[in-house]
Chains A and B, each alone.
Chain A
Amino acid sequence: MDLVEYLKAALYILQGTGYTAALILGAMSLGFAIGLPIASLEIYGPRWIARILSLYVWFFRGIPILVLLFLVYFGIYSAIERIAMAHFGLRLELSPFSASLVALGLASGAYQSQIFRGAILSLPRGQFLAATALGFTARQAVFRVVIPQALRISIPAWSNEYSILLKDSAVAYMLGTLEIMARTKFMAAYTYKHIPFYVFAGLLYFTLTWLGVKGLKALERRTRIPGLGHEF
């Protein structure tokens, strides 16, 4: 293999970064949309709802991401496609990318709910009491006072969740999502040059982790409340 071929291959792998980034951003947003309501309801909601939600968390935290990917794509997606075909005559073709996104998002939702739950519980109860004493309704107190503070506290844990998601997203290649790992594996197997390509992929993931963590650190700094928490 000459240099030009290596460069072409590297470029091909680099194009996977878009997929990987989209996958992570999508999964993190989905996880946020799932995790925040779960955390709030677990703490403030009626007991039976909290029970059911903790079952969700238990399930998605307890199974491997690989099994979850298979379950969503081969299990649920193909079932949906079959039903759409049989009952509505629709020919659905759900993409492996969206399956990966849903699987990662569902799992991330379970993890993020734990992050937010910890953050909300770590706030002094006085904050909620003070808000209700001022005449806020309970709902207002939660949304205006408790959650904004909890989100700020959650940023460090979020950056941890980001790097876990990034690494988990590599497993999505098993479904054929054309992200970094899939392209790397293809190139490595095609050229039988495993080490250079996997090292390249490793570096790429390393850089993405670093960038994300840096970005969240900047976010943490920007949203810092003067006098609260540690200095940077």
Chain B
Amino acid sequence: MGTLEFYRTVLFPALNKGLWVSIQIIVPSAVLGVAIGILAGVGRSLGTSRLSRALDAYVAVFRGTPLVVQLMMWYYGLPTVGVFLESQFGPGVSPLSSLFRLSPYASSVTAFALCSGAYQSEYIRGALLSIKKGQYMAALSLGFTRAQAFWRITAPAAARRALPGCGNEIIYLIKYSSLAMIVTMSELTGQAKGIATMYFRYLECYLATAGYYLALVTLATWLLSWMERRLAIPGDPGLS
């Protein structure tokens, strides 16, 4: 098979299929990650001390260990919990083990969302803490309730501050989604590996894959800086 023929009929169709799978992993993980990050970030900066300690521990664990290890835990580790429980309560309770068995897709999204959420919460927390308490006080002094002061004044200002960090985190997520191939997902990298091994064309396959990721990352970077520009507050140096 000629090189061009190989690209046209084998490599690109496979990578396109992988790209679609990658997107199906990235988008829900990013959305969940941001949601988790907001909840955890708000809880850490405003919650009771017990809550914020618990959330600190969550963040420390998920930021302090490699994502691969976490992925392995969800995919290989979790089912053994089900097996263990079944051995304790007898084989009659079969839903138990299936309950703990995550599909490759589910374990990827779980791992990425939880890990990403831990990082996101750092940016959310930092942004919330960077908004001067005075603005919140001023809102109270005008008669805002505490909830109003938070949602109307602190939160919008903090969201702008958090945007660059959170956006970067999503860009990281795009790249780390490649790890899903370890749990047998046929996403971009998985497809590339399959084709490369089958046709012994490693260099071209991986270079092409790199191109796909570069396109995704560059696109996301543009989008992010466009959003930053749009939301920038004139004269505010805080966002540059």
A59 within 8 A of B: yes
Q: Of residues 182 to 205 in A, which have CB atoms within 8 Å of B's CB atoms?
A: 184-185, 188-189, 192-195, 198-199, 201-202, 205
Q: Which residues of A contact B65 (CB under 8 A)?
A: 167, 201-202, 205-206
List, sorted by A's number, 10 A–B pairs whose CB atoms are closer than 8 Å.
A59-B210, A62-B210, A62-B218, A63-B210, A64-B175, A65-B175, A70-B189, A194-B77, A195-B77, A195-B80
Given A171-B179, A188-B76, A194-B72, are A70 and B81 neighbors across the interface (CB < 8 Å)? no
Is B77 a contact partner of A70 (Cβ separation < 8 A)? no
Is A74 a contact partner of B202 (Cβ separation < 8 A)? yes
Given A66-B179, A78-B202, are A194 and B73 neighbors across the interface (CB < 8 Å)? yes
Partner of A181 from the list B66, B175, B193, B203 (CB cut-off 8 Å) is: B66
**Closest residue of B by beta carbon distance from A167:** B66
Measured CA separation A193–B175 after assembly (Å): 30
Is A195 a contact partner of B73 (Cβ separation < 8 A)? yes
Main secondary structure of the interface of A (DSSP, over half): helix
Interface set of B (CB-CB < 8 Å, partner A): 61, 64-70, 72-73, 76-77, 80-81, 175-179, 181-182, 189, 192-193, 196, 202-203, 206-207, 209-210, 213-214, 217-218
Q: Which residues of B contact A19 (CB under 8 A)?
A: none
A76 within 8 A of B: yes
A208 nearest CB across to chain B (Å): 9
Q: Which residues of A contact B178 (CB under 8 A)?
A: 64, 66-67
A79 within 8 A of B: yes
Is A64 a contact partner of B68 (Cβ separation < 8 A)? no
Q: Of residues 48 to 75 in A, which have CB atoms within 8 Å of B's CB atoms?
A: 58-59, 61-68, 70-71, 74-75
A170 within 8 A of B: yes
A174 within 8 A of B: yes
Main secondary structure of the interface of B (DSSP, over half): helix
A209 within 8 A of B: yes
Most chain A Cβ neighbours within 10 Å, of B69, B176, B193, B203: B69
Is B182 a contact partner of A174 (Cβ separation < 8 A)? yes
Measured CA separation A164–B78 after assembly (Å): 25
Partner of B77 from the list A166, A167, A198, A209 (CB cut-off 8 Å) is: A198
Partner of B203 from the list A71, A170, A199 (CB cut-off 8 Å) is: A71
Is A181 a contact partner of B207 (Cβ separation < 8 A)? no
Is A66 a contact partner of B80 (Cβ separation < 8 A)? no
Q: Of residues 161 to 187 in A, which have CB atoms within 8 Å of B's CB atoms?
A: 163, 166-171, 173-174, 181, 184-185
Measured CA separation A74–B12 after assembly (Å): 19
Q: Which residues of B contact A168 (CB under 8 A)?
A: 66
Q: Which residues of B contact A206 (CB under 8 A)?
A: 61, 64-65
**Closest residue of B by beta carbon distance from A71:** B206
Q: Which residues of B contact A65 (CB under 8 A)?
A: 175
Measured CA separation A168–B70 after assembly (Å): 13
Q: Which residues of B contact A63 (CB under 8 A)?
A: 175, 210, 213-214, 217
